[in-house]
Structure 1
Amino acid sequence: MAEKTGERSGPDGGAGVRLTARVTGMVQAVGFRYWTVRKAAKLGLTGTVRNDDDGSVRLVAEGPQSVVLELRSWLRSPDAPGRVDHVEESISPATGEFTGFDVTY
């Protein structure tokens, strides 16, 4: 149920958050987007992931804060595919604009 502020509520009744991240390192041509979609779907998050021309991967994920932070931790872990050198990120209120988690081009 949407709150008056336009934020999506998480299953725990708390407001949803949006993680916007730029991931650098060896993250293209290693299945990074595929595994990010799988991880996000498993966590019940919505959003998008795409390759950028500079070799980085950009993603937006929305959901309950604790779950979004779990995805953020995964991005920085050895479990993420390829080699992540840096994650530049910001957290903001969720907009609720996504219905699933997809690769965009």
Structure 2
Amino acid sequence: MLHELHIKVSGEVQNVGFRYQTNKLAQGLQLTGWVRNAPDGTVEILAQGEKKNLTRLLTWARQGPGFAKVDKIDFNWRKPAEKLAAFGISRAT
């Protein structure tokens, strides 16, 4: 069954490899979706896939890569409106 997870990560999360590492992990977990820097300084993730793999992504995002300092994470599970084809790094909104 396809699940969708939206995550917003706050803190020192831009310019520390967060998007690159998220992309690498998500592809390894066979997830689809995107990760992007938001204008407010957060990192936003939209991912689809098996719930156990999405949970692994969420657990990782709570800490992020080594140079990141995650202060807060907001997330919500959604019903997918459409199936996404691949996972990638998206341009900022």
Structure 2 length-normalised TM: 0.89
| 1:99 to 2:82 alignment | no
Higher-Rg structure is 1
The answer as to whether partners of 1:62 and 1:96 remain within 8 angstroms in 2 is no
| 1:84 to 2:62 alignment | no
Total equivalences in the alignment: 89
Structure-2 residue corresponding to 1:32: 18
| 1:21 to 2:7 alignment | yes
> Tell me, what secondary structure is at the counterpart of 1:34?
helix
User: Which moved further from structure 2: 91-100 or 55-64?
Assistant: 91-100
Higher RCO (CA < 8 A, seq sep 6+): 2
- Aligned-CA RMSD value: 1.1
Q: Distance in 2 between matches of 1:61 and 1:32?
A: 15
Once the two structures are superposed, the pairs formed by residues 61-76 of structure 1 within 5 Å of their partners are 61-76=47-62
1:96 positional shift = 4.3
AA of the residue aligned to 2:16: V
AA of the residue aligned to 1:25: G
Q: Deviations over 1:9-61 (max 9, x none)?
A: xxxxxx21111011001100001000000000011100001101110011100
| 1:56 to 2:50 alignment | no
AA of the residue aligned to 1:36: T
- Residue ranges of structure 1 left out of the alignment (5+ in a row): 1-14
Question: 4+ runs of 1 displaced by more than 6 Å?
Answer: none
